[in-house]
Amino acid sequence: MNTENSRVNLLDLDEAGLRSFFESIGEKPFRSQQVLKWVYHHGVTDIAAMTDLGIALRKKLDTIAEIKMPQIIREQRSDDGTVKWLIGFQGGNAVETVFIPETRRGTLCVSSQVGCALNCTFCSTGAQGFARNLTTGEIIGQVWLAARALGHERNGLRRITNIVMMGMGEPLLNFDAVVPAMSLMRNDLGFGFAAKRVTLSTAGLVPGIYRLRESLDVALAVSLHSPIDEVRVELVPLNRKYPIAELMQACRDYVSEKHKRTVTFEYTLIDGVNDHPEHARKLVKLLRTVPSKLNLIPFNPFPGTKYRCSSAERIAQFQEIVMRGGLIATVRKTRGEDIDAACGQLVGKVQDRTKRSERIKLRMAETSP
């Protein structure tokens, strides 16, 4: 007998997964294409309404499968058009998903984990600790829900033009769920985004970068934040395990042959920590060795942080040095500030299992006057 929990959530399967699923229940693998079109082209999640599946198959599916979408708990719209959703999952956890409209494009920022296990010192998601990985369905569900809430149409008005895995979590630490979800973003039977419009952002998990290269063609972004190992270790402790030289080699390998593109490097500018002109010059030397673009992000403060944002002059000076050095560098505009939707400000509802959030709260209480 099938209980509610033992049903297969079809949202957890990409095309390859759905094909094996249908084969495993003695059905034709092309059923996968019909299901994908219903869910991602027509926005239909009720199996009973998938009329080309035949009544017998629909009945059978009803006992062994389901399409379980996450829930929008709250929607906030910023004065600048940015939209932020709190999206809830079974078991009480929730993450945030953000839509950032610009003149010619609209970027959806998607989360991969509830919280994050990496402890980057300047990121508020890290400070909340880590609860669990999201499933494929919970990741692609964020895109499905945002597309529907925005009135995104496949062949008409495309509100979402780009997807970035830059929300909560480290996507390469949830590889097995993230890759099928990104394959659904890419697949023409899914959301049908071009490879350059779907970006995975990582704090620098070197083996994951190589694995991704073998798995799926998507754009790569790397959170660098410093060209100097001693400084980067402070900000991204993962750098102890995968220092800059190794990370750069992985980036070069990622864009060679197969993925003939550039790597986007993210660099959060923090006052007095990584914004010195000397850092900018070192960064030029480092990034000259990789086909790259540089995205400078003014640090967004959050409660309890010891860091401050670099001054506007310092940011301008930094950008000037790297551009004179030949890098393509943009300064990311802070968006959705009035609804706390900026980089490193996403919080969600994390049932922290690492106790990290408690330690931080204690420290805050000790240091406050």
CB 255 within 8 A of CB 210: no
SS3 206: helix
Applying CB under 6 A, does 239 fall inside the site for ligand SAH? Answer: no
Q: Rank residues 65 and 236 by Cβ distance to ligand SAH and give the closer one.
A: 236
Question: Is 96 a catalytic site residue?
Answer: yes
Angle subtended at Cα 324 by Cα 320 and Cα 329, rounded to the nearest 5 degrees: 60
Q: Which of 12, 170, 234, 275 binds ligand SAH (CB under 6 A)?
A: 170
Question: Is 337 a catalytic site residue?
Answer: no
Angle subtended at Cα 266 by Cα 279 and Cα 190, rounded to the nearest 5 degrees: 165
Question: How many alpha carbons lie under 13 Å from residue 267 in its C-beta half-sphere?
Answer: 32
Strands of the 292-298 sheet, one edge to the other: 71-77, 83-88, 94-101, 106-109, 162-165, 198-202, 219-223, 263-269, 292-298, 329-331
Residue 72: alpha-carbon gap to chain centroid: 18
Q: Rank residues 8 and 280 by Cβ distance to ligand SAH and give the closer one.
A: 280
Applying CB under 6 A, does 268 fall inside the site for ligand SAH? Answer: yes
Q: Rank residues 34 and 97 by Cβ distance to ligand SAH and give the closer one.
A: 97
Q: Which of 133, 201, 310, 319 binds ligand SAH (CB under 6 A)?
A: 201
Q: Which residues on adjacent β-strands are paired with residue 270?
A: 309
Q: Which of 97, 199, 202, 239 binds ligand SAH (CB under 6 A)?
A: 202
Q: How far is the CB of 343 from ligand SAH (least distance, A)?
A: 3
Which of 109, 116, 251, 343 is the catalytic position? 343
E-strand ranges in 135-210 read: 162-165, 198-202
Q: Which stretch binds ligand SAH (CB under 6 A): 185-193, 246-254, 297-305, 353-361?
A: 297-305
Q: Rank residues 35 and 172 by Cβ distance to ligand SAH and give the closer one.
A: 172
Applying CB under 6 A, does 205 fall inside the site for ligand SAH? Answer: no
Q: How far is the CB of 366 from ligand SAH (least distance, A)?
A: 22
SS3 30: coil
Candidates 289, 236, 238; CA nearest to 266 is 236
Which of 15, 66, 96, 138 is the catalytic position? 96
Interface positions with ligand SAH (CB under 6 A): 122-123, 166, 170, 201-203, 223, 266, 268, 297, 299-300, 302, 343-344
Catalytic residues: 96, 343
